[in-house]
Amino acid sequence: MLLLARQAVPIQTLLVIEMATDSPLHVAFLPWLAGGHLTPYVGLATRIALLGHRVSFLSTPPNLLRLPTSDSHLPPLLHLVPLTPSVQAPVSSTSDLTDSTEHLRPLLRCAFDSLSGPLADFLSSAAPPVDWLLCDYAPYWAVPVARSLNVRTAFLSVFGAAVLGFFGPPDELIRPRRLAPEDLTAAPDWVPFPTSVAFRLPEARTAFGPAFGPDASGVSETYRFGVTIRECDLVAIRSCVELEAEWLDLLKDIYGKTVLPVGHFPPVAPKESVAADNLKEWAGAFEWLDKRAHGSVVYVAFGSEVRLNREQVREIARGLELSGLPFFWALRWPNGLAEVLPEGFEDRTADRGMVCQGWVPQVSILSHPAVGGSMTHSGWGSVTEGMQFGLALILVPMIFDQALNARLFEEKGVGKEVPRNDKDGAFDGIGISETLRLVMVEEGGKGYRARSKELKSVLGSKEVQDSYVTKFVEHLKSHRPA
């Protein structure tokens, strides 16, 4: 099978970890296709390869070409392995396998499910043999394939422990007892401690069907989670005990198997994350940030899978304008910013705001001393990345697990959620403005700013986070196949 290798660069630009010399592992990774899954999978794969173990990263050929590896080249022990689906995936000029729209996801799952044969071919012929397959929730068929070939398996979750804990044990995921959106608006009975982690009714109505109902692939999202968790040898969570100790303990109880946190994979060498060719293009943006007061700028971004509508964009713009705060807004809009922003907005905020269309060097911006807060859709990767730089959070959950993440982080005291309409979940510019000012500058938000800086010492520490990876790899080594 064809292996796509990347040229290595000096390890000091990535992560300096002592190379393991005793019986290296061969670990394979199989993530779901979305960018929010690929990025953390690449992060852990890179760190395991730098520990001296062979890593095979499995995905479709188009996704391997789109991997988020602009920070650096991959280390020499990490190999990209293309698996070609037998069912054609829906790809067009406006949609790819990393940023799919809602109506395409079931079709993408059908294509993804056809990778079971290519996965079996790879695992049966890999040399040296694969010891462990680390797979996402979506390939529920991967664990039986691996087991038949004497490969041990771990479910590697890019979701936090609180989200998994809210949805419950495998049997509840496979044969759910919650049969209506209203059942998702309170913590379930298997959670033994008080928590606000639950959906509000408008969110529950949006989430219920896609989560619990079978789609074109023939199974539901919760079924995929349930079978993968039930069948795997262990569960690995992109989290840490300093943030989610009570939820990690709960998962051990309800799963009845080993649950290991693997850390958050903090970015390395932020300034180097912008490719040399792009440094000149972004020089003006960094000069603009250099002129702002320390911690005064709020970074605004909603990830690659959230599709804001016109009204939401305009209310965010209104809130930014009303707040009077400096801001850096990474905005995706297919037909250009002039079509969607309020008339005159950029002129009225030109002295304190910057709006950029499309991709931005996010890690480099978040790490800039002028940035003190992050207004985010509350995706797990985005909120933990913000905390790695000590940023207070303004939480605007939109889809999937984001509402549960927002409740968790407000509960942990690191951010404040923007108020929403109880009937339809809409937000407005006044609520955006008031929350921005509270979190960023007002006395009442001092606790959010302080708590975020406290967590930076844990989530932003390479030493602390790398220790989680080291312990995880030691577990894989001591439990490799006979």
39 φ/ψ angles, rounded to the nearest 5 degrees:
-60, -55
Distance CA 459, CA 172 (A): 31
DSSP track, 361-384: -HHHHHTSTTEEEEEE---HHHHH
Across 398-435, b (16+ Cβ under 10 Å) vs e yields: bbbbbbbbbbbbbebebbbbbebeeeebebbbebbbbb
Burial of 167 (0-12, 13-18, 19+ CB in 10 A): buried
Distance CA 132, CA 479 (A): 9
pTM of the model: 0.89
Token pair listed for 276: 């040399």
- Determine how β-strand 152-157 pairs with β-strand 4-5: unpaired
* Alpha helices by DSSP H, 232-275: 241-255
pLDDT, residue 396, reads 96
Omega prior to 128 cis, within 30 of 0: yes
pLDDT, residue 69, reads 55
pLDDT, residue 103, reads 64
Distance CA 460, CA 203 (A): 31
CATH number for the region 4-266+462-478 comes to 3.40.50.2000
pLDDT, residue 73, reads 67
Which residues in the chain are classed under CATH 3.40.50.2000? 4-266+462-478, 272-459
| Torsional class of 299: left (φ above 0), alpha (ψ -120 to 50), beta (otherwise) | beta
Q: Which fold has domain 272-459?
A: Rossmann fold (3.40.50)
Helix axis angle for 402-411 and 380-388, nearest 10°, is 30
Distance CA 152, CA 21 (A): 21
Residue with tokens 């694969």: 130
Residue 133, SS3?
A: strand
Burial of 218 (0-12, 13-18, 19+ CB in 10 A): exposed
Burial of 465 (0-12, 13-18, 19+ CB in 10 A): buried
Which residues partner with 56 through β-bridges?
Answer: 28, 79
Query: Which candidate, 164, 166, 168, 140, places its Cα nearest to that of 153?
Result: 140
Query: Which candidate, 168, 166, 155, 165, places its Cα nearest to that of 41?
Result: 155
Question: From first to last of its 482 residues, what are the pLDDT tens digits of the chain?
Answer: 434 433 343 443 334 344 444 789 999 999 998 888 998 999 999 999 999 999 999 999 988 887 755 435 688 999 999 999 988 765 543 334 344 455 677 788 888 999 999 999 999 999 999 999 999 999 999 999 999 999 999 999 999 999 999 999 999 999 999 989 999 999 999 999 999 999 999 999 999 988 998 888 899 999 999 999 999 999 999 999 999 999 999 999 999 999 999 999 876 544 444 454 455 678 888 999 999 999 999 999 997 777 888 999 999 999 999 999 999 999 988 777 878 899 999 999 999 999 988 778 888 899 999 999 999 999 998 999 999 999 999 999 998 899 999 999 999 999 999 999 988 999 999 999 999 999 999 999 999 999 999 999 999 898 999 999 999 999 999 999 98
392 close to 367: Cβ distance less than 8 angstroms? no
Distance CA 315, CA 427 (A): 7
